[in-house]
Structures are given as C-alpha cells and as structure tokens.
Structure 1
Amino acid sequence: MPASLRLALRGMAYNNAWANHRLLTACAALTPEEFVAPRTGFFPTLRATLNHILVIDRFYIDALEGGTLGPRAWADPEPCRSVAELHAAQAATDRRLIAWCDAMEEGAADRIIRVHRGGHVQEERADRLLLHLFQHQIHHRGQAHAMLSGTSVRPPQLDEFFAEGEAPLRAAEFHALGWTEETVWRD
C-alpha cells in the first residue's frame, strides 16, 4: 500500500476516535433525561444515535479482524445505557480500529474482508470497507451533533482535526487519549 494511503487511513482512524471523544465528552454534561429525550434525527435520541455508531463499528471492526460476529452485533441496539458507559465502550472500539490501521502493511488495502451478513458473506476490499465505516461515523456523528445543539450543551468542533489556535486544547485531549501528534502522523 502506498505510504500516503496508509497515512490517510490511519489519520482517519485517529480523527474518528478524537471526534468520538469530543462528542461524548460534551454529552457527559447532559442530564440523563436530556440524553434520552426525543429528538429529530434518524434515531430518536442521542443515546440511540451514539449507540448505533458503536454497534456498527463493532460489526465492521470484527469483520476487519477476521471475526464472524455479523448481525449479532446489533442484537441489542442500545448496549450502553449511560454516556459514561458509552464513552468507555466507544473508546475501546476506536482503539481496535486504530490498532488495525496501525498494523496495515503493503497490500493491506487490497485485502478482501469477509463481512458476515446473516444469510450471506459479503466480500469487500479493506480500503473500501474502511471508507464506508468512516463515512458512516461522520454521517451519524453529524446527526448527534445537530441533536446536541438542541440541548443545554454547546456542540464541540468536530471537523478540524488540527485547527490553528487549538494546540493547547488538542495537546490536553491527545494526552487524555494517550497520543501525541507524532503518534498520529508517524510513518
């Protein structure tokens, strides 16, 4: 795999984890009632939307890792009842995705991933599966971000991974996540 593709996919995995961390940290300031209050979106609550991200991450990351979890991944569509539980579970799932992307070697993007979908097994190239997964994350995080704007908590900035002027905040968040910029961008 060209170094540029490997770096881009790794960067996307780290950015994904950082955005999840920022969004779930903001949601931690909600009351339990606000977290489950009905809202306009594809899923009816922040809890349901953020759990959906987690469930689908588990589904695809299991496939990347060679597992056969398949549709059992969404047997419980809301496995985490609180923001704290969800934040911990999402962080663990994000670490799995980062580890998979960190371990990519030459030809990994072309590797065929077997996605168990119940009645059949879909075969998909790793790079295409990763791009789908990142797009899914962005799509539903955007919905959760919009839902959050209807609460007492200000939605965090999610779309500027390395925004100018945010170096101290970024350094503190990266420290909390166990990263540095060098961790993210090393080749």
Structure 2
Amino acid sequence: MTDPARVFRKLALNNAMANWRLHAPLAGLQPGEFESPRISFFPSLKATLNHILIVDWFYVDALEGGTLGPKAWENEEPFGDPSTLYGAQLDVDRRLIDLCTTLGPVELSRVIAIHRGSRVQHDRMDDVLSHLFQHQTHHRGQAHAMLAGTSVKPPQLDEFIVGDDADNRLDALKALGLSEDDVML
C-alpha cells in the first residue's frame, strides 16, 4: 500500500536537518558577516534566514488552521542574531514535523484557508506543503551560496533522505533528538 503522506514526513525531517546544518556554522561568523550586504534575492544572510522563518510561520499557521496571515511579516527581520533566529526556526520546524506526522490521504486533499489580508486563498494541503518545501529549499540555497563569501565554509545540505545517507545525517539527527527510525518511516 502506498502512503501519500510519507514524502511530506520525510521532507519535513529533511527541512529540519538542513536548517540545523545551515544555521550551525553561523556561530563561527566574524562580527558583521551575518548582516553584511550580499548579492542574492535578499541582501544579507540575516534577511534571507529571517524571510525563510516568517514564511514558515505564515504557511505552517495556515496548515494548522490558524489565521495569522500577513501579521507573520509585520517585522521582516524579527531576529538580529543567528542563535535566537535558529531557536525560532527550530520551533516552527518541529511544528511542521508534528503536522506532517499526522497526515493521511484525507488530510492531504483537504482544502485549507490561507489568510492573505484582503482575501482568503483556498488550496489543497498537499499543494501548499509542496510549495512550502520548494520555498524553503530555494532560499536555503541562496543562504548557502552567501556563506561562500564569509569566513565559514558552507555545509553540505542535501544528504538526508535516502537510506545511503544514513552516516551523513547522524550529526543532524543527534542534534535534533531524532533517530534513524524517524527518517526511514
């Protein structure tokens, strides 16, 4: 039997591990590098990583049935330091894992309401999840590229999903309090 929610559970876990690995080296940045202007869609690591977070807040809230809507981005850079920012990112990553753990075919096809201020968007949960995971990956890639212009080495971000990646994800699993059983569900 095929489980249509399995891919979303794995992507939620992948997302948390990739965020942990991307944020971990930020502690080694030299003063000013986090805020320093860079070439990308957003002008700095700080702006890019805050953007990922607030968009996660926006969509995860909607997926949970909330009405946060545009209030999510009232402050476009709510966190000024990498450590506090990662704490908030980890919190929303865990919410997304918890949400995806509860999904089945019925929930995935359910239409959710996304409050956009002057209107409410209605889309299937599986489509919104697909969009969210693509958004996260897109902007994490930009932040990864920005790290190449800093004093820290950009980390490997894509060794989490398949069985052969087990050794490569051990550090992330341990840091997140997860096990190999969580990933190979």
Q: TM-score range by the shorter chain?
A: over 0.9
Show the counterpart of 1:39: 38
Quote how far apart the aligned CAs of 1:170 are: 2.4
Cα distance, 1:32–1:113 mapped onto 2, change above 3 Å: farther
Measure the CA separation in 2 of the matches of 1:105 and 1:116: 24
Measure the CA separation in 2 of the matches of 1:165 and 1:15: 11
Show the counterpart of 1:156: 155
Percent identity of the aligned residues?
A: 53
Specify the SS of the correspondent of 2:42.
coil
Specify the SS of the correspondent of 1:36.
coil
2:109 is the counterpart of 1:110: yes
Equivalent position amino acid for 1:20 in 2: N
Quote how far apart the aligned CAs of 1:166 are: 6.4
Measure the CA separation in 2 of the matches of 1:95 and 1:25: 17
Gaps of 5+ in 1: none
Q: Please provide the CA RMSD for this pair.
A: 1.6
Quote how far apart the aligned CAs of 1:57 are: 0.2
Measure the CA separation in 2 of the matches of 1:101 and 1:138: 17
Quote how far apart the aligned CAs of 1:136 are: 0.4
Quote how far apart the aligned CAs of 1:50 are: 0.2
Equivalent position amino acid for 2:126 in 1: D
Is the 1:68–1:115 contact (alpha carbons within 8 Å) kept by the matching residues of 2?
Answer: yes
2:123 is the counterpart of 1:93: no
Gaps of 5+ in 2: none
Equivalent position amino acid for 1:104 in 2: L
2:68 is the counterpart of 1:69: yes
Cα distance, 1:165–1:90 mapped onto 2, change above 3 Å: closer
Measure the CA separation in 2 of the matches of 1:62 and 1:70: 8
Residue deviations 1:10-66 (CA, integer Å, cap 9, x gap): 000000110000000022211241000000011111000000000000000000011
Specify the SS of the correspondent of 2:113.
strand
Measure the CA separation in 2 of the matches of 1:6 and 1:142: 25
Specify the SS of the correspondent of 1:34.
coil
Specify the SS of the correspondent of 2:34.
helix
Residue deviations 1:64-122 (CA, integer Å, cap 9, x gap): 01100000000001111100001110000000000000011231110111000000000
Specify the SS of the correspondent of 1:113.
strand
Residue deviations 1:124-183 (CA, integer Å, cap 9, x gap): 10000000000000110010001001111110011221575761x522321110101101
Is the 2:161–2:183 contact (alpha carbons within 8 Å) kept by the matching residues of 1?
Answer: no
Show the counterpart of 1:59: 58
Show the counterpart of 1:26: 25
Equivalent position amino acid for 2:56 in 1: D
TM value normalised by structure 1: 0.93
Cα distance, 1:51–1:165 mapped onto 2, change above 3 Å: closer
Cα distance, 1:58–1:90 mapped onto 2, change above 3 Å: same
Show the counterpart of 1:119: 118
Specify the SS of the correspondent of 2:105.
coil
Is the 1:2–1:106 contact (alpha carbons within 8 Å) kept by the matching residues of 2?
Answer: no
Measure the CA separation in 2 of the matches of 1:146 and 1:180: 29
Show the counterpart of 1:185: 184
Show the counterpart of 1:140: 139
Measure the CA separation in 2 of the matches of 1:32 and 1:63: 36
